[in-house]
């Protein structure tokens, strides 16, 4: 597998060569089509076409090589991922066995953490409930505090009540 530096240098070389070759090819193509009877233009066109084809072949070969290396790398990474997953499962089993053999499973630590989490959740629920009750009390006080004169002064029309 080639290094990225090798690919970069090959691509840069082809990039540097491609545009001059393409310019020569365009000029030769125009001259060949404009003067089809001149043999020198035919020769220059054939040479330019050969150079362009070789540059395109080089680009295609680099692309194919990169794709092949990417597939190889992908396969290796998938294999390593499988190995890592397997080793993690073994590690988990061994940690359990070690905890059982040493008699220190840290059960009290787990229970302490669980109780702290429960306490925090209940605390948030209680604070939220207190704020809700406080706001609801304020709204109810505001609504029932208004007298009919406040309602008239605010511009709200009261329905006529007929008895």
7-24 residue pLDDT tens = 888 888 888 888 899 899
Residues 88 and 157 in one domain: no
| DSSP per-residue codes, the chain | ---HHHHHHHHHHHHHHHHHHHHHHHHHHHHHHH-TT-HHHHHHHHHHHHHHHHHHHHHHHHHHHHHHHHHHHHHHHHHHHHHHHHHHHHHHHHHHHHHHHHT---HHHHHHHHHHHHHHHHHHHHHHHHHHHHHHHHHHHHHHH--HHHHHHHTPPPPPP--
> How many structural domains compose the chain?
2
Residue 80's domain spans which residues? Answer: 4-105
Average pLDDT rounded to a whole number, residues 110-122: 87
Split at pLDDT 50, 70, 90, the class of 156 is: low
Please give the model's pTM, rounded to 2 decimal places.
0.50
Residues 99 and 111 in one domain: no
Residues 95 and 134 in one domain: no
What pLDDT is recorded for position 97? Answer: 80
Residues 48 and 34 in one domain: yes
């Amino acid at each position: 597998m080639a290094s990225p530096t090798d690919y970069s240098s090959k691509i840069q070389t082809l990039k540097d060569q491609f545009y001059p070759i393409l310019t020569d090819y365009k000029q030769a193509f125009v001259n060949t089509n404009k003067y089809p009877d001149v043999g020198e233009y035919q020769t220059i066109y054939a040479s330019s076409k050969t150079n362009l084809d070789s540059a395109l072949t080089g680009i295609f070969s680099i692309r194919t090589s990169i794709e092949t290396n990417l597939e190889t790398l992908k396969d290796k990474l998938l294999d390593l991922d499988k190995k890592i997953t397997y080793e993690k499962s073994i590690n988990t089993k061994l940690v359990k066995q070690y905890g059982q053999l040493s008699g220190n499973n840290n059960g009290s630590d787990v229970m302490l953490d669980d109780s702290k989490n429960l306490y925090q959740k209940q605390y948030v629920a209680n604070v939220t409930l207190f704020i809700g009750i406080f706001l609801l009390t304020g709204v109810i006080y505001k609504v029932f505090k208004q007298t009919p004169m406040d309602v008239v002064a605010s511009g709200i029309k009261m329905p006529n009540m007929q008895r």
